[in-house]
Amino acid sequence: MGFEVYRPRSARDNMVALTKHHIRLGGKLAQKLGSRRVEVAYDKDSDQLRIKGVKEGGMLLNKNKIGARGIFTFFNIVNRKGSYHAVYNEKEKAIFVDLGPGA
């Protein structure tokens, strides 16, 4: 039987945190977007955020953070602070964050 190597993974790699003023992405998630500019969208029915890299326009992703006060107000998700599990969808090249109860 061969040796199996343990490689620790940070639990925060697939997390997105909503703070009072920012959306903070885990380092590996931010790298997958491939851009310093992002588009943030919200689906009210599924209670999900979508964060997608864009070439032009969008918002600046600076040190894995997106200034989001306007986003929270616009989508009426102002009291949702906390850490949420996120999934990167390779096909859509976007991060999906489930904000629903029990997420």
DSSP string, 61-89: EETTEEE-HHHHHHTT-TT--EEEEEEEE
Q: Which two tokens stand for residue 3?
A: 């040796």
| Predicted pLDDT of residue 65 | 95
Contact 53, 35 (CB under 8 A): yes
pLDDT of residue 43: 95
| Tally: H helices and E strands in the chain | 2, 8
- What pLDDT, on a 0 to 100 scale, did the predictor assign at position 66? 96
**pLDDT value of position 32:** 92
Per-residue pLDDT of the chain (103 residues; tens, 9 = 90+): 688 877 666 656 688 999 999 999 988 899 999 999 999 999 999 999 999 999 999 999 999 999 999 999 999 998 889 999 999 999 999 999 999 875 4
Map out the domains of the chain as residue ranges. Answer: 11-98
Given this model, what pLDDT does residue 9 score? 61
Tell me which H or E stretch contains 98: strand 94-98
